[in-house]
Amino acid sequence: MTTAPRLMNFPEERVLEDAAFGQGVVPTRLYALLLPVWKVEIRADITEGEAFFLIDRFLERGLRHGSLDTVDELAAFFALDRALVAQAVRFLTAIGHTQEGPGGQLHLTPLGQRSVDDDIRYVVTRQDRRQLYFEALSCGPLTRAHYDDEVVTLLSAEEMDRAQRSKHYPRFTPVAVASGFDRSALDRLKSRKDRARFNLPVALNAVECLSETLLFLPVYLVRGRERLLVYGQAEAGTAHDPELSALCAGTPELINALDNEELDTEADERLLRSARKWLREQGLDAVAPEQDDDGTWSVSLPSSAFGEKGIPVSRIGSYRMAGSRFFRVWCPEETPRKHAFLDRLDQRMGSRRQVTRQEAEELITRLALQLRLEIPDVSLVRSGAERNGLSGLEAQLARLENEKL
């Protein structure tokens, strides 16, 4: 029997760490949600931009700026074979960039003129059919990343039901849809300037809505005292989604539902039971969970609790989930935290094909903050990696030492 894959292929702890040590948010809750999304099939006249073929660019520039207006003049000026130029002109006429008048006189259409001016070959496709995605809370378009079906999972209603019946943790909660798709959202697309970011063509005209299907997008929502952050599948938990974060923060119904859940008076007790159970499993019954100054919970363990026969040292500074709550695993002694720093840096850098010096320094800074260590430079970290036998990390850092920012 096969096991159904997790909706998120990364742990919740990763988004908590990014929120806390990348975004400066003190996380208080983490929710697994299914955001409603409209998949809308449209038919429209689509204008899209693409790179010019080299000859086409020169021919159109000759027509636009060179006072050239026949095939013969273009061929002579650019020293090209006349048959080649004639073939290219037929193609440009077919895509609506040129027109031929009496006596073989050529001129650019408005579409061709715009293409030359913007140095982008614009192509119009009539009655094109395509699918667009809109979040269903305010009917705003989703960004391009959500169209990559190899990374992002959009669940049908049936798939959502199966996901809710799954024994996998965490359990995802669907967010209710207040109304149907607002078709005026299609008209609003025309005024957007950031089209490429939202997977939109250069222009949409004569738009006709053919169908609307409700889907569900899995996300993690991290709530802090002052703001919330939403993490989707596209960035694998390493960066939040600014559009979805703003959307959820500006949806009163969702915020009220989260507020009501957080009023649960037994939430702290459930968290403490979970932390004590985990401590018993580690043979650390004598340790008690502690509430930190920022209101979050942690378990502070001696250095003897970590190592080959104990808890992996890389777990220092990390979070453990307990429902929508969590507690942090900590060690007050600095030496184990330095080992944890090197181990985690080795894991993070080893999982990437190529790391720039700037990326390495950002990662070093974040891990140092997470483990409450002074922020070291690349040279110092390389020396530490050498002393601890982390040859792969040492080699990576040695290469980066001489790399200019």
DSSP 105-162: -EEE-HHHHHHHHHT-EEEEEEEEEEEEEEETTT-PBPPGGGG-TTT---B-HHHHHH
Paired tokens of 293: 């100054």
CATH number for domain 267-330, candidates 2.40.128, 2.60.40, 3.30.70, 3.30.310: 3.30.70
Helix (H) or strand (E) holding 244: helix 242-249
Predicted confidence at residue 292, as pLDDT, reads: 87
Predicted confidence at residue 186, as pLDDT, reads: 92
Find, among 261, 260, 8, 246, the residue nearest to 137 by Cα. 246
The CA-based angle 315-7-129, given to 5 degrees, is: 140
Q: Which CATH class is domain 52-119?
A: mainly alpha
As a whole number of angstroms, the distance between CA 124 and CA 34 comes to 36
pLDDT in tens, the chain (405 residues): 334 457 888 999 999 999 999 999 999 999 999 999 999 999 999 999 988 988 999 999 999 998 888 998 899 898 999 999 999 999 999 999 999 888 889 999 999 999 999 999 999 999 999 999 999 999 999 999 999 999 999 999 999 888 888 777 788 999 999 889 999 999 898 888 888 889 899 888 889 999 999 999 999 999 998 899 999 998 888 899 999 999 999 999 999 999 888 777 788 889 999 999 999 999 999 999 999 888 889 999 999 999 888 999 999 999 999 888 999 999 999 999 999 999 999 998 887 778 899 999 999 999 999 999 999 999 999 999 999 999 999 999 999 987 765
Predicted confidence at residue 323, as pLDDT, reads: 85
Predicted confidence at residue 4, as pLDDT, reads: 46
As a whole number of angstroms, the distance between CA 239 and CA 231 comes to 7
Pairing label, strands 203-224, 228-231: antiparallel
As a whole number of angstroms, the distance between CA 366 and CA 360 comes to 10
Predicted confidence at residue 71, as pLDDT, reads: 92
Predicted confidence at residue 97, as pLDDT, reads: 92
Predicted confidence at residue 295, as pLDDT, reads: 84
> In 263-355, where does DSSP find H-type helix?
267-281, 334-350
Predicted confidence at residue 196, as pLDDT, reads: 84
DSSP notation for 192-219: -S-TGGGT--SEEEEEEEEEEEEEEEEE
Residue ranges covered by each domain of the chain: 12-44+127-262, 52-119, 267-330, 334-401
Predicted confidence at residue 405, as pLDDT, reads: 52
As a whole number of angstroms, the distance between CA 310 and CA 284 comes to 10
3-state secondary structure of 188: helix
In the block, which residue shows the tokens 């952050």? 229
Find, among 96, 121, 118, the residue nearest to 107 by Cα. 96
